[in-house]
């Protein structure tokens, strides 16, 4: 998926790189912590899929507003999901993580089979919290 969002409708298109994630998913929160730790330049901002702006985006993309099976990457007004979003994020991280971008050579439908498997089992493997992640004082400027 590579959809363009209308900036007049979606206020979050003003951010160059914004990751929207399931705020109650422990797996997703670990992924956000990982991304923050490997993004020393602070390229990425973060928001939860449970927030009202994210809910509008999900509705416009005809994605579920309650059963979050993917995170979204908003980049330059475009929306990326599933394995494509993961690879686009990894490509921007520090150290050797961008080397994994070579996985983009695998067709997206095949990559997404693995992504979907993890998405279906993430709560079972790592659990969930009762409320969305609260950023630390140091992280606060990275969250919208």
Tens digit of pLDDT for each residue in 109-139?
A: 999 999 999 999 998 888 888 777 777 888 8
Residue 77 or residue 88, greater confidence: 88
pLDDT tops 60 at residue 144: yes
Q: Check the CA dihedral 72-75-79-83 and report its sign.
A: negative
Residue 35 or residue 98, greater confidence: 35
Place of tokens 């997703």: 28
pLDDT value of residue 2? 46
Lowest mean pLDDT among 6-10, 88-92, 97-101, 105-109: 6-10
Burial class (CB in 10 A: 0-12, 13-18, 19+), 110: exposed
Reported as a pLDDT band with limits 50, 70 and 90, residue 87 is: very high
Residue 6 or residue 83, greater confidence: 83
Give the relative orientation of helices 108-126 and 82-90 as an angle to the nearest 10 degrees. 90
Q: Which long-range contacts (CB under 8 A, 24 or more apart) does 32-37 make?
A: 32/133, 35/89, 35/93, 36/139, 36/142
Q: What is the pTM of this model?
A: 0.87
The phi and psi torsions of 20 (rounded to 5 degrees) equal -105, 125
Domain containing residue 53: 3-142
CATH at 113: 3.40.30
pLDDT value of residue 8? 66
Contacts of residue 93, Cβ cutoff 8 Å, sequence gap at least 6:
35, 38, 39
Q: Which of 81, 87, 112, 75 is nearest to 35 (CA)?
A: 87
Share above pLDDT 70 across residues of the chain, in percent, rounded to a whole number:
97
Mean pLDDT over each residue of the chain, to the nearest integer: 88
Q: How many CB atoms lie within 10 A of CB 90?
A: 18
- Domain total in the chain: 1
């Amino acid at each position: 998926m590579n959809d363009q969002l209308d900036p007049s409708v979606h206020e979050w298109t003003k951010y160059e790189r914004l990751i929207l994630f399931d705020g109650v998913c422990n797996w997703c929160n670990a992924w956000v912590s990982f991304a923050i730790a490997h993004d020393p330049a602070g390229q990425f901002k973060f928001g939860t899929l449970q927030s009202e702006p994210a809910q509008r985006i999900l509705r416009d993309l005809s994605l579920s507003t309650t059963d979050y099976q993917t995170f979204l990457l908003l980049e330059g007004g475009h929306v990326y999901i599933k394995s494509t979003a993961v690879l686009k994020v990894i490509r921007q991280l520090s150290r050797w993580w961008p080397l994994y971008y070579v996985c983009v050579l695998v067709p997206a439908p095949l990559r997404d089979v693995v992504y979907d498997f993890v998405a279906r089992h993430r709560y079972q493997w790592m659990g969930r919290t009762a409320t969305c992640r609260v950023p630390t004082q140091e992280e606060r400027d990275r969250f919208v």
